[in-house]
Amino acid sequence: MNVFHALRDAWFFFSHNLPAIIRLCLPLVVLEAVVQQFVSAQVGIEATAAYGILVGLLFYPLYTAALILFLDARSRGEVPANRDLFAASLRLWPAFALLAGLSTLAIMLGASLFVLPGLWLMIKLAFAEYLLVLRGLSPMKALRESFELTNGYFWQILTCVLCVMLPLWLLSWASQPAEGTQPDVLLSLLLDSANGFLQLFATVVLFRLFMLRSSLPAEE
């Protein structure tokens, strides 16, 4: 599993299918950012993180499952209609939302101990979404299978994830308003939407890694 080749292939796919991905995912990404802004204004800073996770669980499974199905279809040379992708993602939403909630809880618990356990869990669970969407596994079985499928490939997956996500995490951190200042709502909305959409590239990268890993012999 070559990290450079995986990133190159993922970027080639993402850039060449960008208009289709924008039409498929951007409306829900922007709607998610709008709802996040509204909820944040209503509940206050203290409760924003908790409610933000709930909002994410509402929207994230919809556009991510649709994107994964799109990636799978395009990898087989098919051109699916967006309405069909969304219909399938709606059917998957309950299981995907449960999976996302369990993954988020596990990663947050790991991060609350130290940063590294949370990062380790994030990598070990990286393939769970693809196993649920493409192989029809239950949330718990997808989590267990992801642990097994990532054996022996932790550092390659970690390198790819950090190459994509670290700049976005830094951008998100740098764009946070200073303490005591009033945030610019429109600017925050634009930054959240852009950040959320760019994170979809990580989904493309992990899909490529998942396909590569699935074609390799199982690790003992």
> Does residue 126 contact residue 82 with C-beta atoms inside 8 Å?
no
pLDDT at 208: 94
Q: What is the pLDDT of residues 122-137, one digit of tens each?
A: 999 999 999 999 999 9
Task: Give yes or no for a contact between 24 and 67, defined as CB atoms under 8 angstroms apart.
Answer: yes
pLDDT digits (tens, 9 = 90+) for 45-56: 666 677 788 888
Per-residue pLDDT tens for 80-124? 999 999 999 999 999 999 999 999 998 888 877 766 788 899 999
> CA 168 to CA 172: how far, in whole Å?
6
Angle CA 23–6–201, to nearest 5: 25
How far is Cα 205 from Cα 164, in angstroms, rounded to an integer? 8
- Look at the chain and count its residues: 220
Specify the pTM. 0.91
Q: Which residues, other chains included, contact 70 with Cβ-Cβ below 8 Å and sequence gap of 6+?
A: 17, 20, 21, 24, 80, 85
- For a pLDDT cut of 70, what percent of the chain falls above it? 90
- More confident: 34 or 115: 34
Rounded CA-CA distance 179/18 in Å is: 36
Q: How far apart are CA 66 and CA 92, in angstroms?
A: 10
Query: Given this model, what pLDDT does residue 180 score?
Result: 58
